[in-house]
């Protein structure tokens, strides 16, 4: 990327449209002016998040912990901030640095991740921690260096570069896409406008505080420029926002109609021993929900249905219907008919019994927790993890 003072340009209607190749309207203020007002807003209205340092701390010379920024960014992939907070606090209490996470058994990491979804992230998280710890515990401070690590793509590398190391990098998440789409009234469908949006962010990026600028853009989208009922009167960029001027900010970003997700069917079998233990098994390391724990199910996949009756149970027993659960994956919807049986047998090969007080700590994905809850209400519940408050939480 060229130095920020060379890449920033006046965001006039003609120059931004020509530079981006888009016919969108453009904000009226210059990139410098927009960034300055956005940072001023952020200094006062920033979100307090457990992995962040505040603007005041930053001004005093406090710097973010790259480990905490990396961990939070991996957790935030495809997951909301509110859902991540509790998991993040539990992780850093248990594993306060990358060396501690690298030393942890993979099974423990998967258990701690259970319920957060997109489980390939957890496997990549552990692989990345192992690699960084083996290199002395220091994360690369460039986008290119970070992209060489497991589980870190273009967005995550830019976010870590900007936020952890305060280096210029165009950080574009869903919040930023919405802000830019409205600011410049970008009429190109979002799926085709990624490069245009990134170009606008690069032109707006200030020569100082790129990390705060990235977080300010995110916070603006999360708290003011929201998908529904944006609070335009409170926005520091309202005078420059062409969507606000047009009176229809909710029209942006423009999206193509979503295709219906296919429905897949299957069955899940919850076997309960006399002492309350539940029969479980581990899924293969590769593929959907790889390495996670499950109750026995039929052979459903994202592409094909599995059997849906008790005839497909892992062993003969008095299986009784216990309801049906549904779970939405990224590319399909899964419905499972759940069956329950009280048994007193040895665990079949590849299976194991988990005692009632251990169930909540198993590496169960959400879909399997739903299946168990259908058969045994309350079986997977656990209290929220406590945490030790760190100086910049």
Residues 54/56/62/64 CA torsion (nearest 10 deg): 20
Please report, rounded to a whole number, the percentage of residues in the chain having pLDDT higher than 70. Answer: 89
Query: Which candidate in 73, 177, 202, 373 is catalytic?
Result: 73
pLDDT band at 382 (very low <50, low <70, confident <90, very high): low
Model confidence pLDDT, tens digit, residues 317-351: 999 999 999 999 999 999 999 999 999 999 999 99
* Range(s) within the chain of domains with CATH label 1.10.340.30: 9-251
Q: How far apart are alpha carbons 14 and 30 in whole angstroms?
A: 13
The contacts found for 315-323 with CB under 8 angstroms, 24 or more apart, are 315/343, 315/345, 315/348, 317/271, 317/341, 317/342, 317/343, 318/342, 319/269, 322/270, 322/374, 322/375, 323/374, 323/375
Is 341 within 8 Å of 318 (Cβ atoms)? yes
Model confidence pLDDT, tens digit, residues 43-76: 999 999 999 999 999 999 999 999 999 999 999 9
Q: How far apart are alpha carbons 152 and 164 in whole angstroms?
A: 14
pLDDT at 248 over 60: yes
* Range(s) within the chain of domains with CATH label 3.90.79.10: 263-375
Model confidence pLDDT, tens digit, residues 277-287: 999 999 998 89
Q: Say which residues have a Cβ less than 8 Å from residue 258's Cβ, sequence separation at least 6.
A: none
Model confidence pLDDT, tens digit, residues 139-160: 999 999 999 999 999 999 999 9
Is 364 within 8 Å of 119 (Cβ atoms)? no
Please report, rounded to a whole number, the percentage of residues in the chain having pLDDT higher than 90. Answer: 85
Total residue length of the chain: 393
Sign of the CA dihedral with 220 first, then 223, 225, and 230 last: negative
pLDDT at 292 over 90: yes
| Segment holding 323, helix H or strand E | strand 320-328
pLDDT value for 246: 87
Which backbone phi and psi does 93 adopt, to 5 degrees?
A: -70, -40
Model confidence pLDDT, tens digit, residues 346-380: 999 999 999 999 999 999 999 999 999 999 999 99
Is 71 within 8 Å of 88 (Cβ atoms)? yes
Q: How far is CA 117 from the centre of its chain?
A: 9
In the chain, helix, strand, coil percent, each to 5?
45, 10, 45
pTM (two decimals)? 0.82
pLDDT value for 173: 97
Model confidence pLDDT, tens digit, residues 296-306: 999 999 999 99
pLDDT at 190 over 70: yes
73 is catalytic: yes
pLDDT value for 317: 96
Is 16 within 8 Å of 200 (Cβ atoms)? yes
Task: DSSP for 51-93, please give it.
Answer: T---HHHHHTT----HHHHHHHHHHHTTS-HHHHHHHHHHHHH
Is 193 within 8 Å of 168 (Cβ atoms)? no
Model confidence pLDDT, tens digit, residues 163-173: 999 999 999 99
pLDDT value for 263: 98
pLDDT band at 101 (very low <50, low <70, confident <90, very high): very high
pLDDT band at 383 (very low <50, low <70, confident <90, very high): very low
Identify how many contiguous H helices and E strands the chain contains and give both numbers.
16, 6
When the candidates are 3.40.30.10, 3.30.390.50, 3.90.79.10, 3.40.640.10, the CATH number that belongs to 263-375 is 3.90.79.10
Is 338 within 8 Å of 326 (Cβ atoms)? no
Which residue would you say has higher pLDDT here, 109 or 385?
Answer: 109
pLDDT at 266 over 80: yes
pLDDT at 104 over 50: yes
- The chain-wide mean pLDDT, for the chain, equals 90
pLDDT value for 85: 98
Average the pLDDT over 117-140 and give the result: 96
- Strand-pairing partners, residue 333, are 263, 328
Give how far Cα 197 sits from Cα of 22, 154, 221, Å: 10, 14, 14
CATH placement of domain 9-251: 1.10.340.30
Sign of the CA dihedral with 323 first, then 326, 327, and 332 last: positive
pLDDT at 30 over 70: no
pLDDT value for 230: 97
Sign of the CA dihedral with 256 first, then 182, 81, and 215 last: positive
pLDDT value for 381: 85
Residues 50/51/57/62 CA torsion (nearest 10 deg): 140
């Amino acid at each position: 990327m060229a130095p920020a003072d060379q890449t920033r340009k006046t965001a006039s209607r003609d120059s931004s449209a020509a530079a981006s190749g888009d016919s969108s309207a453009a904000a009226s203020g210059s990139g410098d002016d927009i960034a300055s007002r956005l940072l001023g807003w952020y200094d006062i209205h920033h979100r307090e998040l457990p992995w962040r340092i505040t603007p005041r701390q930053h001004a005093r010379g406090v710097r973010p912990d790259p480990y905490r920024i990396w961990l939070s960014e991996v957790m935030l992939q495809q997951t909301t901030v509110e859902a991540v907070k509790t998991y993040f606090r539990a992780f850093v209490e248990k594993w306060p640095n990358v060396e501690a996470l690298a030393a942890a058994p993979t099974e423990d990491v998967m258990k701690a991740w259970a319920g957060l979804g997109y489980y390939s992230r957890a496997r990549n998280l552990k692989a990345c921690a192992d690699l960084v710890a083996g290199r002395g515990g220091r994360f690369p401070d460039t986008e290119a260096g970070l992209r060489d690590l497991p589980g870190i793509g273009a967005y995550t590398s830019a976010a870590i570069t900007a936020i952890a190391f305060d280096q210029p990098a165009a950080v574009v998440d869903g919040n930023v896409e919405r802000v830019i789409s409205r600011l410049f009234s970008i009429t190109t469908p979002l799926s085709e406008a990624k490069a245009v949006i990134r170009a606008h962010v690069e032109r707006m990026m200030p020569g100082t505080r790129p990390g705060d600028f990235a977080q300010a853009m995110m916070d603006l989208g999360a708290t003011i420029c929201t998908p529904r009922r944006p609070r335009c009167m409170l926005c520091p960029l309202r005078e420059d926002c062409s969507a606000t001027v047009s009176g229809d900010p909710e029209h942006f970003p423009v999206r193509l109609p979503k295709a219906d997700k296919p429905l897949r069917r299957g069955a899940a079998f919850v076997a309960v021993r006399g002492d309350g233990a539940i029969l479980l098994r581990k899924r293969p390391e590769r593929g959907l929900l790889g390495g996670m724990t499950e109750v026995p199910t039929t052979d459903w996949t994202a592409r094909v249905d599995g059997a849906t009756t008790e005839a497909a149970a892992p062993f003969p027993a008095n299986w009784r219907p216990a309801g049906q659960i549904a779970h939405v994956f990224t590319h399909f919807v899964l419905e499972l008919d759940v069956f329950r049986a009280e048994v007193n047998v040895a665990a079949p090969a590849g299976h194991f019994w988990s005692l009632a007080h251990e169930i909540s700590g198993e590496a169960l994905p959400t879909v399997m927790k739903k299946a168990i809850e259908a058969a045994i209400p309350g079986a997977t519940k656990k209290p929220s993890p406590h945490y030790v408050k760190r100086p910049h939480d």
